[in-house]
């Protein structure tokens, strides 16, 4: 795989150490703003910027500007120079790009190499929070919190959607924020369990389970009523983590984190401090429940099987349930149709509740972007911030990035409902149409659309009626867990805990799989397992995290 860069002189100097980078100094932009302690941008760095830019104003550079961007090239929609989205950026916003195109499979690694070698672009796309921390001390990234005054759409949504605490959690040890996240008006709810509705009805079950305990009872009834199946549930998304999706969906309703969402640190709201997740009673309860599914003979013990194996079992009728999400539902239906079984009814069930209630995980931030620190020295710096604010955070920019251009890719009905052109497909909408909204036009593209649609309206607008109804039911029925305070670890603490985090996570995942499959007894071996985690540094990790948390609290109180 290769990296190409438009209007850039190659990929040199990657061996340069990140610590050799120095933060910009004596920049004309480094004039503190008089009112809020931010940084003001002078005229020399306002080329192309609009004087009247603000919420509700369409961004158009006052003269042509060209921004450099680190572009994550997705294999499902490889970048094309003649995409409609690029044409409209040029024609309507007066913006073009010098791209560094990096294949998705290599993106994180190559992105880190470019930033570390001093080759950071103006816009660094498709970046998750936390990945910026290693580059903060070297000065390679822009502290975007210094320039929030120039991001009016971003700040409006932070305030209107009540995301102030989430934003505050993005601060680094120096008190500044470097990562611009994608924002969601409503929590992201996609994952649950997909069931064979006909097999459920054969067992006399017509209602979704209210709790996970009730789900176990339903699986037992389904297996009894359908003896031809191997297991009532055979799960996918298990090869990288045991039952990664299922445990992640369950965990919020057990008061913990597990599966894909597992983290070694869990904030205890009553004690107001962090605890080691993998040995809490709540985590033990989740593991015990999954082990009970296996022991009852209703869950396939092959919890490290490939996706293909699990899906084939479901499609062929050897299982009656499988983890899924709002996209996988269409995938399963297509495979059933290909197998000549297109009449098999399947659907997502509502996420069952648990001992901790009926909840959704905290957090309405998603992947975002970084800005290279050298962008502050560019003559178009202010215009760059305005463009970013318009595209990623304004209502108009979000609709453009999601749907494209009215009259070209979609139409708007009298009631305001958007309708994708019949010859264009997106996910389950117009399936089988000859053109794809992302691959042929560049819209609904993770590089230019953080959070895949920020507002609740936009998220629901790209769903089929079935999926939109299911999503709204989850959002209306469940409570989002509060955002935990972020401990601001300094560079030394991060280095000290990095190895601990890795070895503890690996050990927890390995033990979790052994407990679920019965290779280890939860009743007999849990205390031994907890001691193993202690010997690997669980207390050391938690002590370091809580020390940083308390330090941050004391600093805030001063």
Q: In the block, which residue shows the tokens 């996240």?
A: 181
Confidence of residue 246 (pLDDT cuts 50, 70, 90): very high
What pLDDT score was predicted for residue 558? 62
What pLDDT score was predicted for residue 554? 81
Q: In the block, which residue shows the tokens 């009259």?
A: 407
Please tell me the distance from the alpha carbon of residue 153 to that of residue 62, in angstroms, as a whole number.
Answer: 19
Quote the DSSP letter at residue 294. Answer: H
pLDDT digits (tens, 9 = 90+) for 49-95: 999 999 999 999 999 999 999 999 999 999 999 999 999 999 999 99
Please tell me the distance from the alpha carbon of residue 232 to that of residue 195, in angstroms, as a whole number.
Answer: 9
Confidence of residue 8 (pLDDT cuts 50, 70, 90): very low
State whether residue 424 is helix, strand or coil. strand
Q: In the block, which residue shows the tokens 């002189």?
A: 9
**Choice between 367 and 5, residue whose per-residue pLDDT is larger:** 367
Q: In the block, which residue shows the tokens 């931010």?
A: 38
Please tell me the distance from the alpha carbon of residue 122 to that of residue 71, in angstroms, as a whole number.
Answer: 11
Mean pLDDT across 379-392: 98
**Structure-block tokens of residue 439:** 């691959």
Please tell me the distance from the alpha carbon of residue 234 to that of residue 80, in angstroms, as a whole number.
Answer: 40
What pLDDT score was predicted for residue 37? 55
Q: Residue 228: phi, psi to the nearest 5?
A: -75, -20
pLDDT digits (tens, 9 = 90+) for 168-220: 889 888 889 999 999 999 988 999 999 999 999 999 999 999 999 999 999 99
Angle at the Cα of 554 from the Cα atoms of 32 and 271, rounded to 5 degrees: 135
pLDDT digits (tens, 9 = 90+) for 434-457: 999 999 999 999 999 986 668 999
Please tell me the distance from the alpha carbon of residue 262 to that of residue 419, in angstroms, as a whole number.
Answer: 38
Q: What is the pTM of this model?
A: 0.83
Confidence of residue 557 (pLDDT cuts 50, 70, 90): low
Please tell me the distance from the alpha carbon of residue 552 to that of residue 549, in angstroms, as a whole number.
Answer: 5
What pLDDT score was predicted for residue 25? 34
For residue 482, what are the CA distances in angstroms to 5, 165, 179, 401? 42, 9, 21, 30
Collect all residues with Cβ–Cβ distance below 8 Å to 241 and sequence separation of at least 6: 247, 259, 260, 262, 509
For residue 271, what are the CA distances in angstroms to 62, 129, 199, 498? 54, 26, 45, 25
Note whether 285 and 355 are within 8 A (CB). yes
pLDDT digits (tens, 9 = 90+) for 490-524: 878 888 898 999 999 999 999 999 999 999 999 99
Among 185, 250, 243, residue whose Cα is nearest residue 211: 250
């Amino acid at each position: 795989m290769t990296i190409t860069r438009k209007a850039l002189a190659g990929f040199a100097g990657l061996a340069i150490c990140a610590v050799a980078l120095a933060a910009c100094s004596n920049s004309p932009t480094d004039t503190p703003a008089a009112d809020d302690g931010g940084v003001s941008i002078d005229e020399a760095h306002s080329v192309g910027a609009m004087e009247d830019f603000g919420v509700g104003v369409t961004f158009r550079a006052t003269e042509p500007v060209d921004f450099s961007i680190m572009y994550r090239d997705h294999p499902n929609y490889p970048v094309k120079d003649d995409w409609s989205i690029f044409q409209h950026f040029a024609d309507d916003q007066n913006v073009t790009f010098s791209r560094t195109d990096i294949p998705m499979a290599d993106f994180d690694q190559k992105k880190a190499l470019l930033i570390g070698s001093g080759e950071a672009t103006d816009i660094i796309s498709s970046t998750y929070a936390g990945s910026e921390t290693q580059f903060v001390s070297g000065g390679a990234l822009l502290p975007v919190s210094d320039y929030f005054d120039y991001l009016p759409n971003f700040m409006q949504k932070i305030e209107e959607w009540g995301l102030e605490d989430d934003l505050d959690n993005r601060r680094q040890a120096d008190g500044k924020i470097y990562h611009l996240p994608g924002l969601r008006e409503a929590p992201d709810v996609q994952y649950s369990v997909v069931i064979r509705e006909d097999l459920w009805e054969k067992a006399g079950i017509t209602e979704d389970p209210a709790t996970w305990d009730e789900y176990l009872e339903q699986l037992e009834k389904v297996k009894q009523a359908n003896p031809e199946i191997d297991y009532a549930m055979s799960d996918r998304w298990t090869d990288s983590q045991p039952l990664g999706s299922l445990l992640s969906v369950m965990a919020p309703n057990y008061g913990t984190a597990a599966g894909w969402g597992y983290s070694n640190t869990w904030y205890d709201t009553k004690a107001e401090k962090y605890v080691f997740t993998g040995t809490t009673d709540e985590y033990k309860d989740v593991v015990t429940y999954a082990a009970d599914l296996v022991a009852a003979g209703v869950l396939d013990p092959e919890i490290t099987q490939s996706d293909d194996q699990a899906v084939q079992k479901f499609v062929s009728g050897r299982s009656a349930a499988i983890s899924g999400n709002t996209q996988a539902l269409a995938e399963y239906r297509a495979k059933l149709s290909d197998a000549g079984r297109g009449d098999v009814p399947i659907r997502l069930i509502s996420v069952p509740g648990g001992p901790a209630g009926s909840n959704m995980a905290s957090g309405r931030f998603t992947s975002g972007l970084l800005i290279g620190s050298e962008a502050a020295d560019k003559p178009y710096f202010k215009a760059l911030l305005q463009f970013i604010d318009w595209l990623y955070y304004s209502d108009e920019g979000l609709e453009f990035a999601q749907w494209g251009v009215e009259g070209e890719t979609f139409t708007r009905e009298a009631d305001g409902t958007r309708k994708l052109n019949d010859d264009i497909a997106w996910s389950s909408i117009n399936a089988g149409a000859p053109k794809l909204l992302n691959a042929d036009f560049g819209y609904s593209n993770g590089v230019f659309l953080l959070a895949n649609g920020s507002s609740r309206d936009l998220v629901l607008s790209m769903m089929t009626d079935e999926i939109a109804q299911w999503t709204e039911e989850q959002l209306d029925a469940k409570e989002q867990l509060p955002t935990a305070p972020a401990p601001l670890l300094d560079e030394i603490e991060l280095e000290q805990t990095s190895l601990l985090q890795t070895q503890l996570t690996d050990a927890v995942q390995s033990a979790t799989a052994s407990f679920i499959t019965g290779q280890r007894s939860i009743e007999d071996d849990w205390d031994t397992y907890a001691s193993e985690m202690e010997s690997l540094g669980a207390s050391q990790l938690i002590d370091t995290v809580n020390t940083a948390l308390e330090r941050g609290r004391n600093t805030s109180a001063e």
